[in-house]
Amino acid sequence: MLENKTLGRSSISFGKPVIIKGSGSIVGQTEDEGPLKGCFDKVSDEKNDMFGADSWEKAESALQRKAIAITLEKTRLQAKDIRYLFAGDLLGQTIASSFGVIEYDIPYMGLYGACSTCGEALCLGSMTVAAGYADTVMCLTSSHYASAQKEFRYPLEYGGQRPLYASWTVTGSAGFVLQPDDMGADPDKAAKNNYSCKIGITGVTVGKIEDFGIKDSFNMGCAMAPAAAWTIAANLKDFGREASDYDAIFTGDLGNVGSDALYNLLGEENIDIRDRHYDCGMIIYDLKKQDVHAGGSGCGCSAVVLSAYILKKIESGEWKRVLFVPTGALLNKTSFNEGQNVPGIAHGVVIEKTE
Amino acid sequence: MLENKTLGRSSISFGKPVIIKGSGSIVGQTEDEGPLKGCFDKVSDEKNDMFGADSWEKAESALQRKAIAITLEKTRLQAKDIRYLFAGDLLGQTIASSFGVIEYDIPYMGLYGACSTCGEALCLGSMTVAAGYADTVMCLTSSHYASAQKEFRYPLEYGGQRPLYASWTVTGSAGFVLQPDDMGADPDKAAKNNYSCKIGITGVTVGKIEDFGIKDSFNMGCAMAPAAAWTIAANLKDFGREASDYDAIFTGDLGNVGSDALYNLLGEENIDIRDRHYDCGMIIYDLKKQDVHAGGSGCGCSAVVLSAYILKKIESGEWKRVLFVPTGALLNKTSFNEGQNVPGIAHGVVIEKTE
């Protein structure tokens, strides 16, 4: 059974796992003051997380640039070894990525899936490798607290108040190198495996947009919960699995309120994930001690948690199979101001210890 | 030779052509007053191109919604027959697509490649079909003159002046249905072929970002020319072709000035495409009679020209093989105001009459 197979409405099961050879993460100081302190590859050495840049947007591009450098260094690859780069971010016209990746000169596919972009990139990256279109791809996303506040709400300098149910955009970026299990004719090009075992992507479930009529752009957890519920339910059905076939099911950034909404929606389909559900946004910060309101969010949130936490738990053997479901809220300043709803989307990636 | 093959730095040659079964286009009134008058499937019936919406952004979403409807109708498919939708637009956080595609409930990959997005969507869509991940995908892009002016320059109501070398964003959207040549187990799901012959995508060349230091966001032709030159040169080299192996080479929206820059750059590599080069932005308007300055641009420009003009020329037998290279300029309001350069990207799609 080595053929890739399409399953159900939108899932694909890969005949051979697409191996996550390595990843690199970089975060701001707030992220390294939470429960994952010490787990990231690099942390900002400036209190303001400017990463040497002179604007918030350029700081986010610097984050991506550094995430690529760390990922290449850890996997002992050069930029020319990466055939395609799948990347995106939250800024208008995804400029953090455009200016972040440019100097590496890698053929580039720009993506926008809001905070689900890490899932979208891993779906397309693994599909590309499993199809034999590339022996090495990189998937990359970022977000920055200050650039996101300026993009979606108010520049920090305005000192705007935010409701307690608002999430805190993670300052961070992570890159992932994907390769086929068997490098075939080019074993010399194999990346260094950053793990003591093989960790692979064995399938994906592409999400669709779900709109439950949420109008409050601060309440992104509830806006995204229906999309997460659809993707998780579709994944279980398409792969013929129970929730218990996964050791952990991760959403991106639903927070407390959104997670409760997710449990309710899945409950209607007799699916109970509560004993194995984690939310990247609730893991990255200590919600009791850090003043981050409803938890973390952003394209960088699920990416750095995958790199710094989830993959290590899989490597350690604590989890054998994980369903990773980054969640995105689809809006911009104008759509919000014009009274449009905030729909959501979520893409599912099955990640397993494969030997 | 039925295997897909990777070529050179970023090209893929498909073992079997991915068939463009059909497409649908819709444009504003200005677009139907140019040389392609009467070639589009639908034209706005209101002078202000609002398409029944009450804001420019919603009008652009309406464009996408109608483009999907037209494309489904022409190919006699239903939304549920489309396995994946690859779509994007120029607005911040690609909201024209988010709100344009939502009601069709199709698993969705959001893309951002500026005005190259139609090329990016066709690359990913054809790669997905050629890999066997889907028997039917749709690729979709849009742009709207008024929403783009508001997004990148000034709302129309301000009456801002624009330099003569500025391009005019096309109001239009087009969708494309891609299927494998052989529908295998599901011949019943075959879309109606809108053409009297088979027209297929036989290969792609994924672009990379090129930055020649252009700072003037109105001068997008020159900003994009280096990326177009790279993609065209890479395509010819990777596929072992001369320019004369293509009957036509289309760029997206370089305009006069950008086209001259392209010829100069290709000349340095001893490539001469002048006798077979066309620019979608220069074809869609009559630059002498219509007050559109340097010609058309936007995600919708190359898409509607492909649907309404290029595919019909291939069907008629006038052209057998075309290289379609939508071009995008990577910037946003903030990057421009912060003094960043305007880099470009261009993705290449090889489209042929296959029997």
**Is the pLDDT reported for residue B147 higher than 60?**
yes
8 Å CB contact between A315 and A196: yes
Helices A117-130, B117-130: inter-axial angle, 10-degree rounding: 50
Mutate to test the interface with A, among B68, B129, B335 (most CBs of A within 10 A): B335
- Most distant CA pair in chain A: distance in Å? 58
Distance separating alpha carbons of residues B108 and A125, to the nearest angstrom: 15
A19-28, A151-160, B91-100: least confidently modelled range: A151-160
Above 60 in pLDDT, residue B1? no
What pLDDT is attached to residue B219? Answer: 83
More confident residue, B221 or A276: A276
The CA-to-CA distance between both ends of chain B, in Å, stands at: 17
Nearest by Cα to B118 from B343, B319, B301: B301
Tokens, residue A146: 């200050």
d(CA B155, CA A286): 43
- Cβ-based neighbours of A34, under 8 Å, separated by 6 or more: A284, A285, A286, A290
A150 vs A216, B70, B247, CA distance in Å? Answer: 17, 38, 48
Whether B206 sits inside 8 A of A108 (CB atoms) is yes
Q: Per-residue pLDDT tens for A255-276?
A: 888 999 999 999 999 999 999 9
Higher pLDDT, B219 or A303: A303
Q: Contact B225/B344 with Cβ under 8 angstroms?
A: yes
pLDDT score of A185 = 67
Q: Do A334 and B92 touch (CB under 8 A)?
A: yes
pLDDT score, position B157: 84
Q: Which of A127, A131, A208 sits opposite B108 (nearest CB)?
A: A208
**A328 DSSP β-pair partners:** A345
Is B93 close to A340, i.e. CB distance below 8 A? no
Q: Is the dihedral of CA A309, A312, A314, A319 positive or negative?
A: negative
pLDDT tens sequence across B228-280:
999 999 999 999 999 999 999 999 999 888 999 999 999 999 999 999 999 99
Question: Token pair for residue A246?
Answer: 């996964």
For residue B141, is pLDDT > 70?
yes
B112 vs A105: CB contact, 8 Å cut-off? no
Among A98, A204, A220, the residue to mutate for chain B (most B Cβ within 10 A) = A98
Strands (E), A89-188: 108-111, 137-143, 168-169, 172-180
Residue A235 identity (one-letter amino acid): N
Nearest chain B residue to A97 by CA: give it. Answer: B330
Which carries the bigger pLDDT value, residue B155 or residue A282?
A282
pLDDT mean over B42-63: 94
> Model confidence at B132, in pLDDT bands (50, 70, 90)?
very high
- In the block, tokens 């701001």 appear at A28
Contact list in A for residue B88 (CB cut-off 8 A) is: 112
A15 pLDDT more than 90: yes
- Separation between Cα atoms, residue B225 and residue A123, nearest integer Å: 31
Backbone φ, ψ for residue B327 (5° rounding): -120, 135
Q: Which of B93, B208, B338 is closest, CB to CB, to A112?
A: B93
Q: What is the pTM of this model?
A: 0.97
Interface contacts A/B by beta carbons within 8 Å:
175
Distances (CA, A) of A143 to A230, A270, B173, B278: 25, 35, 30, 39
Q: Which domains does chain B have, with CATH numbers?
A: 17-189 (3.40.47.40), 201-353 (3.40.47.40)
Q: How far apart are CA A178 and CA A228, in angstroms?
A: 24
* Predicted local distance difference test score (pLDDT) of residue B185: 67
Average confidence (pLDDT) over A135-164:
90
Give yes or no for residue A2 having a pLDDT over 80: no
Chain B: closest CA distance from residue A324 (Å): 17
CA distance B306 to B2: 27
Per-residue pLDDT at A154 exceeds 90: no
State yes or no: pLDDT of B291 exceeds 90. no
Using CB atoms, pick whichever of A112, A132, A331 lies closest to residue B111.
Answer: A112
pLDDT at B220: 86
What per-residue confidence (pLDDT) applies to A162? 80
Q: Which residue has the tokens 């979709």?
A: B140
Task: Quote the pLDDT of residue B216.
Answer: 85
Residues of A in contact with B58 (CB under 8 A): 338, 340
B129 contacts B176 by C-beta, under 8 angstroms: no
Radius of gyration of chain A (CA): 19
How do residues A276-330 score in pLDDT, each as one tens digit? 999 999 999 999 999 888 899 999 999 999 999 999 999 999 999 999 999 999 9
Average pLDDT (B8-30) is: 97
Residue range A164-208, pLDDT digits in tens: 878 899 999 999 999 999 887 677 889 999 999 999 999 999 999
**Closest C-alpha to B296, from B171, B169, B173, B174:** B169
Mean pLDDT computed over B311-337? 95
pLDDT digits (tens, 9 = 90+) for B64-108: 999 999 999 999 999 999 999 999 999 999 999 999 999 999 999
Q: pLDDT of B182-191, one tens digit each? A: 887 678 889 9
Mean pLDDT score of chain A, rounded to an integer?
94
Residue B235 region by backbone torsions, left for phi larger than 0, else alpha for psi between -120 and 50, else beta: alpha
Would the pLDDT of A1 be above 70?
no
User: Quick one: average pLDDT of B52-62?
Assistant: 95
Residues from chain B contacting residue A332 (CB–CB below 8 Å): 91-93, 95
Q: How many DSSP H helices and E strands does chain B contain?
A: 10, 16
Is residue A209 pLDDT above 90, yes or no? yes
Nearest CA in chain B to A101: B209
Pairwise CA distance, residues B261 & B258, whole Å: 5
What integer pLDDT is reported at residue B172 of this predicted model?
Answer: 98
The pLDDT, as a whole number, for residue B116 is 97
